[in-house]
Amino acid sequence: MAQPDDLLNDLLDDEDYPAYTMGRAAEILGTSQDFLRRLGEANLIDPHRSAG
């Protein structure tokens, strides 16, 4: 049986899995977009940008 972390990693690697905008992610987490950007700059998270 798959471990919860394995399932989450599989979902996050799936290009068809829904993603959130930076603004929506910040709202859900109760933080600012700038904070999330700084986490990305520090390589603590790996944000992906859509093609547009």
Instruction: Assess whether pLDDT exceeds 70 at residue 9.
Output: no
Report yes or no: 12 and 18 within 8 Å, Cβ to Cβ: no
C-alpha neighbours within 13 Å on the C-beta side of residue 9: 5
Mean of pLDDT values over 3-30: 78
Report yes or no: 35 and 26 within 8 Å, Cβ to Cβ: yes
pLDDT of res. 34: 97
The span from the CA of 51 to the CA of 22, in Å, is 15
Q: Is 30 left (phi over 0), alpha (psi -120 to 50) or beta?
A: left
- Count of residues making up the chain: 52
Entry pTM: 0.61
Min mean pLDDT across 19-23, 24-28, 35-39 is at: 19-23
Mean of pLDDT values over 17-44: 92
